[in-house]
C-alpha cells in the first residue's frame, strides 16, 4: 500500500511538472492572434458611429493575424502582447493598441507597390505591419535606443523593405519623397507642413492631432490629384506626444 502511495505521488509530481512546463514553453501565439482579430472586429462595430467603417480591409486583418506582436514588446510583457491594448516599450513610449494599428493601416488604403513613411518607429510593429502590405516603408524615430532596437529587430525578422532613421520626423524624409501614404504615430498639435508637401497627389496621411493632455483627433488627410488637401476627423484617440528635436 505504501509503495502504491509513493508511486502515486511520483506520478503526480511528474504530471504537474510536465503540465506547467508545457504551459510555460508552448504558448499558442497564433491562437492568441486569432482571438485578437475577434476583439478588433468587436471594436470595429463599437466605433462604427465615428469611423463609418463596418469592416476593415481583409488584407489588413490578415496581416494583423500574422505579425508576431509578442516579439515587439519587452520580454516580461510577451504574454500580454495579444491583448487589444497599448503596452509600454520603455523611454515613456508605447506600442499602439492593435485596433488602432488596424484602423490607421486601413485608413491609408495601401497598394502593393506603395511607398509609405512612418513617423514614430517605436517598437517597429506598425512598420512591420505596413511592410507586409506595401513595397517600401521608411520610418523615423527620435529616441536613439528605440531606433537601434527597432532597426535590428526588423532586420532579424526579415523585414528588409523597411528603412529606419534616427531624426525628428517633423521634416519627413525628403530623399525618398513623395510618399503614397504617411502615418504619424505620435500626437502632434498641428499637421506638419513638410509632411503634407511630401505626400503624392492621390496620397493619404493618418495623424493624431491635438494637445498632449487630452484626447486627440485621429485625422485623415487626403491630397487629391490636383493637389487640393482635405482633412477628415475620424476618432478621438490618445497617443504619446510628438516631440521636437533640438
Q: Which residues are catalytic?
A: 96
Task: Give me the 153-192 binding string for ligand SAH, x by CB under 6 A, dash otherwise.
Answer: ---------------xxx--------------xx------
Residue with cell string 494637445: 211
CB closer to ligand SAH, 22 vs 163: 163
**For residues 70 and 67, what is the distance between their CA atoms, to the nearest angstrom?**
9
Candidates 1-9, 50-58, 91-99, 215-223; binding stretch for ligand SAH (CB under 6 A): 91-99
**For residues 44 and 162, what is the distance between their CA atoms, to the nearest angstrom?**
28
CA-based torsion, 49, 238, 143, 155: positive or negative: negative
**What residues contact residue 239 under an 8 Å CB cut-off, 6+ apart?**
96, 185, 186, 187, 208, 216
User: What length does the chain have?
Assistant: 246
The verdict on 134 binding ligand SAH (CB under 6 A) reads no
The verdict on 140 binding ligand SAH (CB under 6 A) reads yes
**For residues 188 and 195, what is the distance between their CA atoms, to the nearest angstrom?**
12
The verdict on 203 binding ligand SAH (CB under 6 A) reads no
Of 133, 146, 164, 195, the one binding ligand SAH (CB under 6 A) is 146
Shortest distance in whole angstroms from residue 73 CB to ligand SAH: 9
Residues that bind ligand SAH (CB under 6 A): 93-96, 119-120, 122-123, 125-126, 140-143, 146, 168-170, 185-186, 240, 242-244
Amino acid at each position: 500500500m505504501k509503495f502504491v502511495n509513493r508511486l502515486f505521488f511520483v506520478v503526480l509530481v511528474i504530471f504537474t511538472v510536465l503540465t506547467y512546463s508545457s504551459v510555460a514553453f508552448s504558448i499558442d501565439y497564433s491562437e492568441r492572434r486569432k482571438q485578437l482579430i475577434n476583439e478588433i472586429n468587436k471594436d470595429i462595430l463599437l466605433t462604427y458611429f465615428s469611423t463609418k467603417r463596418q469592416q476593415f480591409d481583409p488584407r489588413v486583418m490578415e496581416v494583423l493575424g500574422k505579425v508576431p506582436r509578442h516579439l515587439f514588446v519587452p520580454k516580461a510583457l510577451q504574454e500580454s502582447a495579444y491583448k487589444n491594448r497599448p503596452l509600454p516599450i520603455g523611454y515613456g513610449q508605447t506600442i499602439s493598441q492593435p485596433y488602432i494599428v488596424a484602423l490607421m493601416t486601413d485608413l491609408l488604403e495601401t497598394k502593393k507597390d506603395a511607398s509609405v513613411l512612418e513617423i514614430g518607429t517605436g517598437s517597429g510593429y506598425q512598420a512591420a505591419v505596413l511592410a507586409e502590405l506595401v513595397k517600401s516603408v521608411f520610418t523615423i524615430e527620435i529616441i536613439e535606443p528605440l531606433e537601434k532596437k527597432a532597426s535590428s529587430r526588423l532586420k532579424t525578422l526579415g523585414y528588409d523593405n523597411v528603412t529606419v532613421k534616427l531624426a525628428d520626423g517633423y521634416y519627413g524624409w525628403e530623399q525618398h519623397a513623395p510618399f503614397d501614404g504617411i502615418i504619424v504615430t505620435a500626437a502632434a498639435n498641428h499637421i506638419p507642413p513638410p509632411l503634407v508637401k511630401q505626400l503624392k497627389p492621390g496620397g493619404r496621411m493618418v495623424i493624431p492631432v491635438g494637445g498632449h493632455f487630452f484626447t486627440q483627433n485621429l485625422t485623415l488627410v487626403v491630397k487629391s490629384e490636383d493637389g487640393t488637401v482635405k482633412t477628415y476627423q475620424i476618432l478621438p484617440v490618445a497617443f504619446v506626444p510628438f516631440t521636437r528635436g533640438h
